[in-house]
Structure 1
Amino acid sequence: MSGTDAVLAYRDSTWPVAQGVIHGTVVDGETGDALVGATITIEERGIQTTTDSTGAFRFQGIAAGTVRVTAAMQGYVSSTKRARVSETSNVELQFRLMPQAKDAEFPHDETIQLDGEQRAADQRRMQMRRQIEVQGQRALVPSPSRYRPPTDREGYARIEETGFRRAAEAPLSTFSIDVDGAAYSNVRRFIRNGERPPVDAVRIEELLNYFPYDDPAPDARGDQPFAVSMETATAPWADAHTLLRIGIQGKEIPAAERPPSNLVFLLDVSGSMQSPDKLPLLKKAFRLLTEQMRPEDHISIVVYAGASGTVLEPTNGSNKEDILAALNDLQAGGSTAGQAGIQAAYAMAEAHFDPDGINRVILATDGDFNVGPSSDAEMTRLVEEKRETGVFLTVLGFGTGNLQDSEMEQMANHGNGSYHYIDSALEARKVLVSELGGTLQTIAKDVKLQVEFNPLHVGAYRLIGYENRRLNDEDFADDTKDAGELGAGHHVTALYELVPPGADSLAPSRGELKYQDREPSNAASSDEWLTLNLRYKRPDADSSQLISEALVPEPNANMSTELSFASAVAGFGMLLRDSEYSGDLSLARVRELAEAGRGDDPDGYRAGFISMLEDYRRMTGASDTESSP
């Protein structure tokens, strides 16, 4: 599949059979030059692609009906055209985007017959519309390129980048997995709004793990819940170094085999949730989730503002109308009594606990817990206590200006769940529809990795990212120590940068020791560079199981498509963080790696990353050779 065919696969199984084709080009309205990396969205179908090097795009298999096709690009006024899709139709759309000015015109809508005949033109002075029903009306979310909401009250935990360590002195590297993807969608939000993300908003492991990778899957008939793979190639930013990628792919579980769900929606309806990117988008997201529920699933809704309350008692998936009506009636107002709401939600989940099912609280908020006892430590202790009852926590962040990212991440980490930032209806569909199995169903908990490096082949190493997931070496075999969870179909990627022995190491030496022998063991003389040890528990188990795999790298291995893309994502994260370890990496080199690693990209996620790189280049004015944006 070409880059222009790539679309975000946020498809609803209830749509009719798709027939139509929409294709076209996007050019600069003043110069006529092709616009590369423009984002093309069909909101009604939840699909998206980007233009290629000629400014062209293409959608195939569009369901019949009237759709809006929107072309948008950083620095330009977006444009929307309406198209009617018939059974065997094909249309070519031409977009001419005008550069933005201070008093730029709002984009216009046109109605297009999909066979190419233009029926009518509706000139409307309005911004690109993302329509969300709110109390029978439509809330209009401004085009990200035109609206820059304040971010001065957002909270991010400080990240201290870890440097190189000498393998002879510290041969073990131990950390917990992390399947969160919140940092990526949050970084994307900043860039779309024309702002450089705060350094501490950039968690490289979450950028990496936002994307699926073509890694080996576990045997569907086997007992192991995931498969592990490793590969190496030359580091793109340091020719003398090696880049190691570790991939973990969770087992896919069909929806029909998913256990019954006992879900409690815990929804923040305080006054801070009034803006269109908060409660209105939240409603849209939970409607999508509700539509996925089966008759055996049950949903309850608890809300909190100045106080907490139950909006909906447990209701099965056969009564979606009741659930949707309860969501539609929500209104924002009042202060935020977060802890009272969480306590009420856990009480609801425990009262209707299903010992054979999925029991989970799904918290949706901008993260502002400002009334009552709500310190980070107290909230952490609360969710830690509740996870022991078998009720896990998923956290969804919404909105700008007030996002308490660090608090929400910690709550998800300690609640045996994942944290996602929802910046659009498309992201909501990704998390709550496309990846629903992984979001809801845990297949392995307390997953820890420990890599032992052979100093004969590795002089020094550096784990890229995972700064707040590091563990003490002794925690690896301690089953009382908490670690990350892996959901059905989830994937985990980790990158190490390896320095050969004898090279000028970036890792300081601890000096000579009098009472310890540093001579390598007999095993060190093998061709093994490292051994990966992995511990995990079954969701209902208290003791862990151990998996071990050694790595003998393929000599002079070429960089695979997957490693190329992962290195591009990590490299961009290092540039955003002004990392001292980015070497001679440039934004142009990151783009090359991403293009080389684009692959089939059936969901269009990698195309979206490439488009974001172009947005960032335009925003910062970075040159092709600049090493730091």
Structure 2
Amino acid sequence: MANVNCSNEKNKAVVNYISQNSEEYGIFEENGIKGVSTEPLSTFSIDVDTASYSNMRRFLMDGLLPPKDSIRIEELVNYFTYDYNEPYGDKPVEIYGEIGECPWNSNRYLAKIGLKAKEIHIEETKENNLVFLIDVSGSMEDEDKLPLLKNAFKMLVKNLREEDRVSIVVYAGASGVALMPTSGANKERIIEVLDKLYAGGSTAGGEGIELAYSMAKNNFIENGNNRVILATDGDFNVGMSSEIELENLIEEKRKEGIFLSVLGFGEGNIKDSKMEILADKGNGNYAYIDSIMEAKKVLVNEMGATLYTVAKDVKLQVEFNPSKVKGYRLVGYDNRRLNNEDFNDDTKDAGEMGAGHTVTAFYEIIPYDSEEEVPGVDSLKYQKNVSNESNEWLNVKLRYKHPEKSSSELITRAIGEGELKYNNSTDFNFASAVVELGLILKDSEYKGKSSVDDIINRARKGKGIDVNGYRAEFIKLAELVKELR
């Protein structure tokens, strides 16, 4: 059950809401302040999931503040795309950097690290072998579940090509094949099968996943995009239901070149933490679909990023220069931390980037001359006064694998004085506003002087060219937070 802050009457509504359903969210300790003298390296797996943002929106649109454990700040930030440079040459990913003042703590700086994956035009994409794994159990009968799910998949089907194949597996009390592999040219047949689906029975989720993977393997396309797309409210209560069993199966199939993406639907029954884990283990992404517009965003506007992996096992390792930085804190990615030695270990799983994906991470930076106390800064005698003429603040190392390869490649970029801006970019202003709202909704101990008014003003300043209206919507959500707090 979610951990809810009950400090005021409005939050009691959240308690009442949660007590009447079985939604589950993972509980993770926030990343803390680290001293550069003792911990100069920060290592983590990237994350392209966006479920936390649309789930947050669902709560706010219902007039409720979301449970704080449902807020994963990196997913709020990565819901949006940013104007980063396209990768050069054969590199699938490029690194971007920018530093500015920290809006919620005037004694610190904020470093923004951005990644941009290579765009792929539809005519360049691989053939698709897609298996729609659809939960048709009794809990899926609500309008925001199976009916919305069917309309979402229809949108995807309409954009498939003749060379693409679709199979449909359903599961409830038992699992079964609703559609054998069918060409994307036969859209009417695929849509007809979707229209006939109805909800009823319990949830044999594990059995359904096994059957879906079997279908994907039997129709495997060499050098193609072989993927299971699981659509569910997250309830796995019959059959192979332990997370360890499911994870082991999904990891095994991942090694065979079959990836898993997860789409969450509905309210009252969301098993958010479980669905996030399954997508991570399956080299896929996890999105929460709360409306037909969100379905269009995930399955049409961003279909390349959703379906086509261009870099897998993407890890970041940031090294801080002690002559410039006294301490740092990675904002978000609380459940993506890796041991430093994992960075060069190609057997360690990490996140995937799809075509055109952007990934953003922020570090709060305590400058080297700050009087702020930092853990470990006094523990080493000879590290306190490091002399270094370099203007670099931090060095970013990125490891990734090509989707078909098992060995990683390395990209590096230093970020420093040249990236320090006193008039930050439009994207920096907007993304930092998203981070700050996340700090407030999490009731983070690091929220400092966060202010919803400041968030709204900075988001308006950073709105920029907003073709799809996503940034304008964020501003409206921030206004709702102001009213609900």
Of 396, 413, 426 in structure 2, the residue corresponding to residue 561 of structure 1 is 426
Tell me the equivalent position of 2:358. Answer: 491
Residues 151 and 402 of structure 1 are in contact (CA less than 8 Å); yes or no, is this contact kept in structure 2? Answer: no
Q: What pairs up with 1:76-115 in 2 under 5 angstroms?
A: none
Of 215, 218, 221 in structure 2, the residue corresponding to residue 354 of structure 1 is 221
Q: Does 1:266 align with 2:133?
A: yes
- Identity, in percent, stands at 54
AA matched with 1:331: Y
- 2:416 and 2:233 map into 1 onto residues whose CA distance is 46
AA matched with 1:507: V
AA matched with 2:447: S
Q: What pairs up with 1:373-392 in 2 under 5 angstroms?
A: 373-392=240-259
- 2:352 and 2:196 map into 1 onto residues whose CA distance is 34
AA matched with 2:203: T
AA matched with 1:558: N
Q: What pairs up with 1:401-480 in 2 under 5 angstroms?
A: 401-480=268-347
Q: CA RMSD in A?
A: 1.5
- 1:521 and 1:512 map into 2 onto residues whose CA distance is 14
AA matched with 1:525: E
- 1:507 and 1:345 map into 2 onto residues whose CA distance is 50
Tell me the equivalent position of 1:367. Answer: 234
Of 387, 408, 412 in structure 2, the residue corresponding to residue 544 of structure 1 is 408
- 2:19 and 2:430 map into 1 onto residues whose CA distance is 32
Alpha-carbon deviation of 1:151? 5.9
- 2:202 and 2:191 map into 1 onto residues whose CA distance is 25
Tell me the equivalent position of 1:531. Answer: 395
Alpha-carbon deviation of 1:187? 0.2
Alpha-carbon deviation of 1:510? 7.0
Superposed CA offset, 1:385-430 (max 9, x none): 1100000000000000000000000000010000000000000000
Superposed CA offset, 1:486-527 (max 9, x none): 0001110000110012323353227535xx8537777x4311
Q: Does 1:582 align with 2:447?
A: yes
Alpha-carbon deviation of 1:606? 0.3
* Structure having greater relative contact order (Cα 8 Å, sep ≥ 6): 2
**SS across alignment from 1:239:** coil
- 2:374 and 2:386 map into 1 onto residues whose CA distance is 22
- 2:150 and 2:199 map into 1 onto residues whose CA distance is 12
Query: How many residue pairs get matched?
Result: 468
- 1:350 and 1:500 map into 2 onto residues whose CA distance is 53
Q: Which is further off, 349-358 or 370-379?
A: 370-379
Tell me the equivalent position of 1:215. Answer: 84
**SS across alignment from 1:393:** strand
Residues 206 and 246 of structure 2 are in contact (CA less than 8 Å); yes or no, is this contact kept in structure 1? Answer: yes
AA matched with 1:444: A
Greater strand share, structure number: 1
Alpha-carbon deviation of 1:382? 1.2
**SS across alignment from 1:468:** coil
Unaligned 5+ residue runs, structure 1? 1-147, 621-628
Where do 4+ consecutive residues of structure 1 move more than 4 Å? 148-151, 519-522
AA matched with 2:343: F
Residues 47 and 74 of structure 2 are in contact (CA less than 8 Å); yes or no, is this contact kept in structure 1? Answer: yes
Tell me the equivalent position of 1:202. Answer: 71
Q: Which has the larger radius of gyration?
A: 1
Tell me the equivalent position of 1:116. Answer: none
**SS across alignment from 1:469:** coil
AA matched with 1:287: K
Distance 1:506 1:440, change over 3 A: farther
Residues 36 and 325 of structure 2 are in contact (CA less than 8 Å); yes or no, is this contact kept in structure 1? Answer: yes
- 1:552 and 1:611 map into 2 onto residues whose CA distance is 35
- 1:191 and 1:501 map into 2 onto residues whose CA distance is 40
Q: Does 1:293 align with 2:160?
A: yes
Q: Does 1:594 align with 2:459?
A: yes
Residues 459 and 505 of structure 1 are in contact (CA less than 8 Å); yes or no, is this contact kept in structure 2? Answer: no
- 1:462 and 1:506 map into 2 onto residues whose CA distance is 13
- TM-score normalized by the length of structure 2: 0.94
Tell me the equivalent position of 1:154. Answer: 23
